[in-house]
Amino acid sequence: MQTLQPDYFNSYRSLELMRDANGVLVAEFHSNGGPFTFTAQDHTEFVDAFYRIAQDRANKIVILTGAGGDFIPDIDFSSFGNVADPGVWSQVHDEGVQILENLSNVRVPVIAAIEGHAHVHSEYALLASVIVASEDATFHDVPHFAGGIVPGDGIFTAWSYRAGAGRAEAFLLNPQPLAARTAYEWGVVGEVVPNGEALSRARELAELYMKAPEVTRRNTRIHLIQPLKERIVREVGYGLALEGASAADLVKSMQVKTEPVARKGKVA
C-alpha cells in the first residue's frame, strides 16, 4: 500500500524526503543529487523542514543520510553574506537555534546513516538516537576554530554530551578528521559497518524499532533526547552569540589587512 506524500516533501532544495508505506522517512542531504554543500538558503529551509518532519505523525522513524557517499562534506561561506552585519547574524543566530531545537523535537526514533565526510554540522547526526557509520566515515569541524570563529552553533553541546567535555574540547580546538572507529570507541557512533552499508543497516534498525508499539517508540525518543534537548535550549543561543562576535571580528581583521596603505594616517 502506497502512502500519499505530503506537499512539504517537495519544498526544500537540498533535502530529499522519501517515506515508505510503513512510515519510515529517509531525509537525504544533497546538492543537485550529489554530495551536499551547505548554504545560507539551506540554513533557512531546514528550520521549516525539521519542524514539519517533527509535527507529521505519519513519520514513524526518521533516517538522516547524505547523497553521493558523504553526509555533509562542505559549506559555502560566501552564501551567508556579511556576517559582521548584525541583521545578517541575527537571522543566522535564530535559524541555528531553531534547526537544533526542531531536530530535537522529532518525537520518533532518529537514525543517522553516515558515509564519507560528516565535516560540517556533524551535530545534526549527534542529535539522532543512533548513528550507524561506515568504516571510512570521518567526523570533522571544518567551519569553526580552524577558520577563525567560535564553535558555538551547538557542535560543542552535542559532542560534549555524547563524547565528554574533554574529548569535545580537544576535537574542536585542533579539528582533525575523526575516524568512525574512534567515534565508536568514544561512544558517539553506535555501529560501524562496511562502506556503502550504512543506509541499509539503518533501514534494518528501523524495521526492528517498528516492532515496538507506536506510543512506546515515541515516548522512548522523547525520554532519551530530553537531557540533550535541555542543553540545546540553554546553550546554543549563547554560543551562537559568541560565534557571531568572533565572525564580526574576523571580518573586521580581514578588512584591515586589505585596506590600502595610502589611506592610513592621511588627513583629507
Which residues are tagged catalytic?
Answer: 123
Among the listed residues 171, 150, 166, 156, the one whose alpha carbon sits nearest the alpha carbon of residue 248 = 150
CB half-sphere exposure, 242, CA atoms < 13 A? 13
Asked if residues 26 and 17 have their Cβ atoms less than 8 Å apart, the reply is yes
With 0-12 / 13-18 / 19 or more C-beta atoms within 10 angstroms meaning exposed / middle / buried, residue 62 is buried
Instruction: Please give the DSSP secondary-structure letter assigned to residue 18.
Output: E
Distance CA 50, CA 64 (A): 11
Q: Quick one: cell of 202?
A: 539503518
Asked if residues 33 and 67 have their Cβ atoms less than 8 Å apart, the reply is yes
Q: Quick one: cell of 241?
A: 552569540
CA-derived radius of gyration, the chain: 19
